[in-house]
């Protein structure tokens, strides 16, 4: 699940291709990234096709992480003074267990996904106002300034072209 999560993030945040892929092409990309990660980290290699990865992501990981995100937001909205991220995670998992009736199984996946722009906690009105005053992105302000803007499509294409041309000229 953790390898699938990392592969999904890598494929979804690829600045060269961006969002210019249809569903099957996107999931084929996720599968190739998953295979590379899985081969490095797994002791036993199992064969998964992209449809089984898609199913696992949509029906289990994404669904549960999105639900857990609601409890995470609640735990971190106005945390008591002196609490830590570990305390917030405990509160969120306890609330998830109480409401859903089963333990949250994707904590490792959540920890990676919460750093991804798609899963960022939405900014509130105060963060939006502060962002406007400082000329910054409201999500960056809401997340404590820890997010950096990803490289754009044109810049990524330029980097890719430059690196491939330098390899070609070095080989000559």
Q: What is the chain's pLDDT, residue by residue, as a tens digit (172 residues)?
A: 888 888 888 888 877 666 667 788 888 888 888 888 877 666 555 667 888 888 889 899 999 999 999 999 999 988 888 999 999 999 999 999 999 999 999 999 999 898 887 666 554 444 555 556 656 554 454 444 555 555 565 665 666 566 655 554 444 4
Residue with tokens 């390899």: 167
User: What's the pLDDT score for residue 50?
Assistant: 83
User: What's the pLDDT score for residue 8?
Assistant: 87
Contact 34, 46 (CB under 8 A): no
**Alpha carbon distance 62, 67 (integer Å):** 8
**Alpha carbon distance 147, 121 (integer Å):** 12
Contact 29, 11 (CB under 8 A): yes
User: What's the pLDDT score for residue 138?
Assistant: 47
């Amino acid at each position: 699940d953790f390898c699938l999560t990392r592969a999904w993030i890598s494929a979804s945040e690829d600045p060269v291709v961006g969002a210019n892929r249809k569903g099957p092409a996107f999931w084929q990309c996720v599968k190739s990234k998953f295979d590379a990660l899985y081969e490095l980290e797994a002791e036993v290699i199992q064969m998964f096709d992209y449809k089984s990865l898609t199913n696992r992501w949509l029906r289990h990981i994404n669904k549960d992480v999105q639900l857990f995100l609601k409890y995470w937001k609640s735990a971190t909205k106005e945390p008591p003074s002196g609490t830590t991220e570990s305390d917030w995670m405990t509160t969120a998992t306890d609330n998830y267990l109480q409401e859903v009736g089963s333990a949250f199984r994707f904590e490792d996946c959540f920890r990676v996904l919460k750093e991804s722009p798609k899963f960022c906690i939405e900014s509130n009105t105060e963060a939006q106002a502060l962002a406007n005053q400082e000329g910054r992105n409201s999500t960056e302000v809401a997340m404590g300034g820890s997010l950096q803007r990803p490289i754009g499509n044109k810049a990524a294409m330029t980097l890719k072209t430059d690196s491939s041309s330098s390899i070609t000229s070095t080989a000559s």
